[in-house]
Amino acid sequence: MKGLRRVSAVAITAGAVLTAGAFTASAQAATTATPTITAKGGFVMNNGTGKSLFTKAADTRRSTGSTTKIMTARVVLAQPNLNLDAKVTVQKAYSDYIVDNNWASSAKLIVGDKVTVRQLLYGLMLPSGCDAAYALADKFGTGSTRAARVKSFIGKMNTTAKSLGLTNTHFDSFDGIGHGANYSTPRDLTKLASSAMKYSTFRTVVKTKSTKQKVTTKNGGYRYMSWTNTNPLLSGYSGTIGVKTGSGPEAKYCLVFAATRNGKTVIGTVLASSSVDNRTADAKKLLNYGFSK
C-alpha cells in the first residue's frame, strides 16, 4: 500500500507541474496577445530599431490636439545657435489668446514677465500652455508683425514635417487649436516624438513631473511659476520617459508616450480615445505589448 501511495503521489506531483506549466504558457500568451484599444488610432514601435510593433489605423489622418506641441518644441530646439536662457517678454496677446479660445490650456503666463526660452518649453510641455506656444512662435518666427511671425513659425513646422518624412501630417496652428487643416497620424506622431527625443533638453522637459521656475516680473522683481505635467504615465507606469497629452472637441483624447525598461525604449501614440482614463489604459496596454515583443 505504501508503494502505491508513493506512486500516486508522484503522479499527482507530475500532473501539478504540467498544469502549472499550462497556466504559465497561457499567461504568457495573454501578455503577448495583440491588445484591443478604445482609441480609433494607435501605433507603437521599438525606438531603437524603428520596428513597428502595433498598428491600428496608423496612417489615418486625425486631429491631434496638443500633441501638436511636440512639433512646436522640435522646431524651437532645432534653431541654429539657440540660446535657451534668452528672455522673452510675455505679451498681452498671449493671454488674450487663452481667453478667446475655450479649449486653450494655459501656463498662466503673466503679461510683462520675462521668461526664458527654456522656461517656455516647460510651460509648453507640462501644463500644455497655449500661451507658451504662442510666445515661442512669436519669438522664433520671422517677420515684422506678430501675425507674420506666427505664420512663418507654422511654416517651419510643416517644413520640418516634410524633412522627417511625415507625409500624413500638416499644421495650421502652433498649439493644436487648428483651423481645419491640423492633422497627423499615430505613425507620424510617433516618428516625430522619436526625433524630438534626440534633443537632451526635450528629454529632460518631458520626463519632468513638476517644476517651479523663477521668472522676472515687469518691475524687476521675481515670482515663481509652478507647472505640473499632464502626462499621468509619469506617475502611473514604471519606466515612462515622456511625452505629451492632447485633447480637443475633434481630437478627443490623445497621448504620445514612451518608456524604457531594461535598455529597450518603446514609443507610440493613441489618437481619438474616448476619455482620459481610456487614453491612459490604451497607452499602458500598448507599452506592455511593446515590451513583450
**Which of 56, 69, 156, 284 is flagged as catalytic?**
69
Asked if residue 105 lies in contact with residue 177, where contact means CB atoms within 8 angstroms, the answer is no
Asked if residue 192 lies in contact with residue 74, where contact means CB atoms within 8 angstroms, the answer is yes
Task: Give the span between the Cα atoms of 169 and 153, in whole angstroms.
Answer: 16
128 has catalytic annotation: yes
**Which of 106, 128, 247, 273 is flagged as catalytic?**
128
C-alpha dihedral, 215 to 221 to 226 to 227, nearest 10°: -30
Can you tell me whether residue 230 is helix, strand or coil?
A: coil
Task: Give the span between the Cα atoms of 170 and 162, in whole angstroms.
Answer: 9
Task: Give the span between the Cα atoms of 51 and 61, in whole angstroms.
Answer: 21
Nearest residue to 198 via CA among 78, 90, 60: 78
69 has catalytic annotation: yes
Rg of the chain on CA atoms, in Å = 23
**Which of 63, 66, 184, 273 is flagged as catalytic?**
66
> For residue 226, which phi and psi values (nearest 5 degrees)?
-110, 125
Active site residues: 66, 69, 128
